[in-house]
Amino acid sequence: MEKITLYNTLTRTKETLTPIAAPTVATYSCGPTVYNYAHIGNLRTYVFMDELRRVLKYAGYTTKSVMNITDVGHLMSDADDGEDKMQSAARKSNKTPEEIASFYSAVFFKDLERLNILLPEIIAKATDNIPEMIDFVKTLVDTGYGYETDDGIYFDISKFDGYGKLSRCNLDDALAGARVAVNTQKRHPADFALWKKAEPNHIMQWDSPWGKGYPGWHIECSAMGKKFLGERFDIHTGGVDHIPIHHENEIAQSEALEGHKVVSMWLHGEFMLVDGGKMSKSLGNVYTIDDLIERGYSPLAFRYFCMNTHYRNKLNFTFGGLDAAQTAYDRLRSAISSCENAPKADKNTLADAAKIKGNVNAALYDDLNFPLALGELWGLSKLNCREVYETAKDLDAVFGLKLHLPPEAKKLDVPEEVKALAEKRFEARKNKDWATSDALRAQLDAMGYTVLDSKDGYEIKKRN
Ligand code: AMP
Ligand code: ZN
């Protein structure tokens, strides 16, 4: 196993990873709230999760990774009021929260697949783990950290000594920053909900020692982390927006419960901006992967675009930037894949290739420096020998960019009818039925399309 350093938000320093139970590294990543499509900013955070997991595996560790699916309890406002996001989406579309969750989860997993993001070993749905959350809250109440009000159970942040240590704000800052208490029974405005009592019209509710209700969003991650990874684990990830509230609250709950530190390292991915600003529905700049595909970009070019900026730097999305990434990505694939049939390297070139691979490894083990590692791959691509192809193929385990394969054909908006005819013709060719194949080609030609055959497939082109 290789030595890896990672930047720990908690200590604001790069630290050497020292797993609790090497060779296993246990990680927890905050997953999506499945009430809507994931946007490209959300997906950047999951590309970062994937970078981490792939580097760990590449370095010889075994990953035991959990990602949750939040399908209850994430309210519209961080101040523990507003409607549950799932319930609100369900109400607006006349569906049940379960239908909403299963629809958007399926789209999310399809997005991950298209971005070649490896699935964590454990995917945990909040609604499958309610008893563990209730037990967690009950212990916090029994030990005096949790208290009951008319509308739920709250965590008393003044009882937890280290509150604010992740975001480096003290208790006074937290209290001053909290909104004027809507709920006057809270002891402190910044106390947060562990459990909410359900209004009669709340669809998702479970029996608990405090009547019918549902879990707070923060307790979900603490309870599922404990259930699947135990009372101490190595790494917790999420986007930087989670530092001040969600992760601060997770630390408070979990450490109050266990009486000791739970997570060794906190890693946070910086935000994606669009055209230099925030993504928002009102600006019409919230894009999904489907939006990019519709405009002719490939999901892996978006992955390349993300990897080309370090996860701790902001990444400004523009279509100009994505254009450049698509072009560079295609060029790199083309340069590397064309080395499949290049001659074997001489001694000097072999030494150069080995040096580059060493530089790639060093970059990756130094806080996941993918931009630097990609730069090294450009150097590799210029060596023009068979080993370029072989090295890139090996390295695909960590990049997941399929750089050793020729660039994908540009996606063309081809009518379904044309696609069907081309597929029929492909079948005819496979069966050596040349007459049918020629007739179909003529038919396609009349419709304005040509088909270019290749070794194991074909490409449809529009005739100029
Ligand atoms: P959510 O589904 O809202 O809980 O968000 C899922 C993940 O996306 C979280 O880890 C967030 O931190 C992250 N996220 C949200 N917006 C952005 C953004 N603009 N850029 C990067 N990550 C984001
Ligand atoms: Zn979380």
Ligand 1 neighbours by CB, cut-off 6 Å:
30, 32-33, 41-42, 44-45, 238-239, 241-242, 271-272, 279
The residue whose CA has the least distance to atom 2 of ligand 1 is: 32
- 275 — alpha (psi -120 to 50), left (phi > 0) or beta? left
Over residues 230-256, the mean pLDDT reads: 97
Q: Which ligand is nearest to the CA of 239?
A: 1
pLDDT in tens, 320-372: 999 999 999 999 999 999 999 999 999 999 999 999 999 999 999 999 999 99
Across 38-42, 79-83, 84-88, 183-187, least confident range? 79-83
| DSSP code for 243 | I
Termini Cα distance of the chain: 55
Residue whose tokens read 């961080």: 78
Six-digit token string for 2: 């290789």
Q: Identify the pLDDT of residue 449.
A: 86
Q: Identify the pLDDT of residue 398.
A: 98
- State which of 90-99, 138-147, 405-414 shows the largest mean pLDDT: 138-147
Sort strands 233-239 and 24-29 into parallel, antiparallel or unpaired. Answer: parallel
The residue whose CA has the least distance to atom 11 of ligand 1 is: 239
Does residue 180 have a pLDDT over 60?
no
Query: Which residue among 241, 267, 274, 281 has the greatest number of ligand 1 atoms within 8 angstroms of its CB, and so is best to mutate?
Result: 241
The residue whose CA has the least distance to atom 18 of ligand 1 is: 41
Q: Identify the pLDDT of residue 413.
A: 72
Helix (H, G, I), strand (E, B) or coil at 450: strand
Query: Which residue among 28, 45, 271, 288 has the greatest number of ligand 1 atoms within 8 angstroms of its CB, and so is best to mutate?
Result: 45
CB 249 within 8 A of CB 155: yes
| DSSP code for 404 | T
Q: pLDDT above 90 covers what percent of the chain? A: 79
Atom of ligand 1 nearest to the CA of 33: 2
Ligand 2 center to residue 455 CA distance, Å?
Answer: 47
Six-digit token string for 404: 């050793």
